[in-house]
Amino acid sequence: MRYLPHTEEEISEMLTAVGKETLDDLFCTIPPDCRRDDEIALPQAMTEWQLDAHMTEIGNMLEVTPQHKVLVGAGSYHHYIPEMIRALASRSEFLTAYTPYQPEMAQGTLQGIYEYQTLTARLLGMDVANASIYDGAASLAEALLMGLRIKKKKKKVAVSKGIHPHHRQVVRTYLQATEFEIVELPIGDDGRTDLSLLEGVDDLAAVAIQSPNFLGVIEDLSGAGEKIHAIDAIYIASFTEALAFGLIKNPGECGADIVCGEGQSMGLNRSFGGPGLGMFACREKLTRNMPGRLVGETVDRDGKRGFVLTLATREQHIRREKATSNICSNQGVCAMMAGMFMATLGGTGLRELARLNHSKAEYLKAELKKAGAEIVFDSPTFNEFLVRFSFDFEPVYEKLFERGFVAGINVGKYYPQYKGCYLFCATETVTREDIDAVIQEVSR
C-alpha cells in the first residue's frame, strides 16, 4: 500500500529494537476478550483508477447534474467561485497543517484567519469575529448559549420561525438537555417576524432573527433591535446568505449584539451541505463570552508583527467543563477560503455582485407574476422569494427538471400554512435566457 512506507526488513529491524517478535506482539497489553476475531469486512482495496471509476459511477447516480440550473437557495447557494480560490486553498501548506498551536510554524494560517476575522467583522458590522464555527446551525445554537451565559438569571430564548428550519432543529437539540426553554416567534402576513409577543416579557435572555429570512424576506432589523433591547435581551441576528450584506444594511448597523450565520456563499461549494462555514461575530464588550478560537496580533522577540491564537482561557482545553463551549477544531480552511473570496471581490465587487443577485431575482419575480403566479409576500426580498401557483405545480416542476432546471423547493414540509408554495432563488449564475425558459414552461 503506497501510504505505508515500511519494507519487511525495516519492520523486522524495528521489531528487534523494541524487543518484539511480530507486529501482533505489539498489542500484548490488549486483553484477548477485547479483540476482534475476524478481519474488518470491507471491499477489496482499490487502486486510484478503480476508485476514480467507482466515484464516477456514483456521480452518475445523481439525477441532478452539475449542468442543472438549480433555482434553489434555502441556505445553500450556487455562486460562481473564482478558480484561484480552489487553487490557493488546496496549497498543502494550508490544507495539511494542524490548528496553529505553534505560531512560528503557522504564520500563514494565523495571518489568513486574522484577515478573515477582520473582513467578517466589517461585513457584519461587528467589532470581533471568531475563527469560525462548524456551520450556520451550530453558530446559532452557540449564539443563544452565549446569550444565556451573559444574562445569567434568564432561562428563556426566543427564535423567529423565519429562521432556517434546520437551524431551529439544531438549537432544540443543543438545548434539550439543559434547563433552558425556547419560544418560537410566528411569521406575520408580510413574511416578517411578528414581534408583538415580546411586549411586556421580561424573562428572555436572547432573541434571534434571520435576515433575509428562510422565506427570502428582508426583516426590519432596526425595528426589531429596538423592541429586543427594550426588554433587556441580547439581540442575535442570523443569516444564511452573507452576500446580501453587500447591498442591505448589515446587522451591526441595525443594533445587533451577536451576528451568526452560514458563510457557504463566500466561495464554498454546496457539496451536499458541507463543509460549510459558521460565521460568528459580536460587540467588543462581549468578547470574553464568545465561544471558539480567536487569532490576535502580537510581536515576536525582535518586535516584528505576528499572530497567535489568543484568549484561550475561555476554551475547553484549559477551562474544561467551565469553557464557553466545547468547540475545538472548527472550519479552518473554509474560513481561509471565505477570506480569499472577500478579498477577491473587494468592496466594489461585493456591491456589484449583490446588486446583480437582487436584480436577477426581481426579474424572475416579475415574470412569474406576469405568468399568473402569486408572490406570497410583497415585502422586499434579496435573491429568494416564495411563490404560490393557482394550479398543481408538480407536473411543471417535473417537466422543468427534464429541461435542466430545478424550479425551487416546496416548503410545505416545514411550513404547513404555505403548503404547495415554492421557494425560488436566482443568483448571478442564472441568465435571462434561463429565466425566460422557466417562464415559458410555467405559462403553458
Partner 1 sequence: MKHEPVNGPGTTGLIFKEPLLWEKGKKGRKGMSIPACDVPAAELDSALVGAGPDFPDLSEVDVVRHYTRLSQWNFGVDSGMYPLGSCTMKYNPKINEKQAANPAIAAAHPMLDDRYVQGTLKIMYDLQQYLVNITGLDAASLQPSAGAQGELTGMLIFDAYHKSRGSKRTKILIPDTAHGTNPASAALCGYKPVPVKSSADGVLDIDTVKELMDEETAGIMVTNPNTLGLFETNIREVAEIVHAKGGLVYGDGANMNAVMGVVDVKKCGVDVIHLNLHKTFSTPHGGGGPGAGPVCVVEELKKFLPIPHVVKDGNSYRLDWDNPDSIGRVHGYHGNYGVLVRAYSYILSMGGENLKKASQLAVLNANYIKEKLKPYLHLPYDKPCMHECVFSDSRQQELKITTLDIAKRLIDYGFHPPTVYFPLVVPGAIMIEPTETECKEDIDQFIESILHILEEAKTNPDLLHEAPTRTKLKRLDETLAARKPCLCG
Strands 384-388 and 374-375: antiparallel
Nearer to partner 1, 326 or 443 (CB): 326
Chosen residue from 197, 380, 403, 441 binding partner 1 by CB under 8 A: 380
Nearer to partner 1, 82 or 372 (CB): 82
- Virtual CA dihedral for 114, 120, 123, 126, nearest 10 degrees? -90
Using CA of residue 129, residue 133, residue 135, residue 136, what is the dihedral sign?
negative
Cell 449583490 -> residue: 354
User: In the range 60-99, which residues lie near partner 1 by CB under 8 A?
Assistant: 60-66, 70, 72, 74-76, 78, 80, 82, 84, 86-88, 90-99
Regarding 152 and contact with partner 1 (CB under 8 A), the answer is no
| C-alpha distances in Å from residue 232, one per residue of 62, 70, 158 | 50, 42, 13
Nearer to partner 1, 149 or 197 (CB): 149
CA 369 from centroid of its chain's CA atoms: 32
Nearer to partner 1, 231 or 274 (CB): 274
Nearer to partner 1, 88 or 197 (CB): 88
CB of 279 to partner 1, least distance (A): 13
CB of 111 to partner 1, least distance (A): 6
Site pattern 212..231 for partner 1 (x: CB under 8 A): ------x-------------
Nearer to partner 1, 200 or 395 (CB): 395
| CB 354, CB 265: distance < 8 Å | no
Regarding 384 and contact with partner 1 (CB under 8 A), the answer is no
Nearest CA among 343, 124, 139 for reference residue 221: 124
Angle at 256 between CA 319 and CA 350, to 5 degrees: 105
Chosen residue from 188, 231, 287, 388 binding partner 1 by CB under 8 A: 287
User: In the range 254-273, which residues lie near partner 1 by CB under 8 A?
Assistant: 262, 269-273
Chosen residue from 316, 388, 404, 415 binding partner 1 by CB under 8 A: 316
Enumerate the β-bridge partners of residue 206: 157, 234
Q: State the CB neighbour count (10 A cutoff) for residue 30.
A: 9
Nearer to partner 1, 234 or 278 (CB): 278
Chosen residue from 183, 197, 343, 371 binding partner 1 by CB under 8 A: 343
DSSP structure string for 131-169: S-BS-HHHHHHHHHHHHHHHTTT--EEEEETTS-HHHHH
Regarding 31 and contact with partner 1 (CB under 8 A), the answer is yes
Regarding 406 and contact with partner 1 (CB under 8 A), the answer is yes
Quote the CA–CA distance of 114 and 129 in Å, as a whole number.
9
Nearer to partner 1, 236 or 294 (CB): 294
Site pattern 99..128 for partner 1 (x: CB under 8 A): xx-xxxxxxxx-xxxxx-xxx-xxx---xx
CB of 122 to partner 1, least distance (A): 5
CB of 200 to partner 1, least distance (A): 28
Chosen residue from 54, 285, 370, 419 binding partner 1 by CB under 8 A: 54
Chosen residue from 247, 259, 338, 387 binding partner 1 by CB under 8 A: 247
Nearest CA among 337, 325, 174 for reference residue 242: 337
**What is the C-alpha R_g of the chain?**
25
Q: How many residues bind partner 1 (CB under 8 A)?
A: 201
| CB 133, CB 142: distance < 8 Å | yes
C-alpha cell at 8: 519487511
CB of 216 to partner 1, least distance (A): 13
SS3 of 202, please? coil
Instruction: Phi first, then psi: give them for residue 305, nearest 5 degrees.
Output: -65, 135
Q: Applying CB under 8 A, which part among 189-197, 201-209, 231-239, 331-339 lies near partner 1?
A: 331-339
Buried b / exposed e along 306-317 (16+ C-beta atoms within 10 A): ebbbebeebbbe
Regarding 403 and contact with partner 1 (CB under 8 A), the answer is no
Q: Applying CB under 8 A, which part among 152-160, 202-210, 225-233, 323-331 lies near partner 1?
A: 323-331
CA terminus-to-terminus distance, the chain: 59
CB of 188 to partner 1, least distance (A): 17
Q: Applying CB under 8 A, which part among 149-157, 166-174, 193-201, 370-378 lies near partner 1?
A: 166-174
Instruction: Phi first, then psi: give them for residue 234, nearest 5 degrees.
Output: -75, 130
C-alpha cell at 152: 445569567
Helix (H) or strand (E) holding 185: strand 181-185
Nearer to partner 1, 13 or 232 (CB): 13
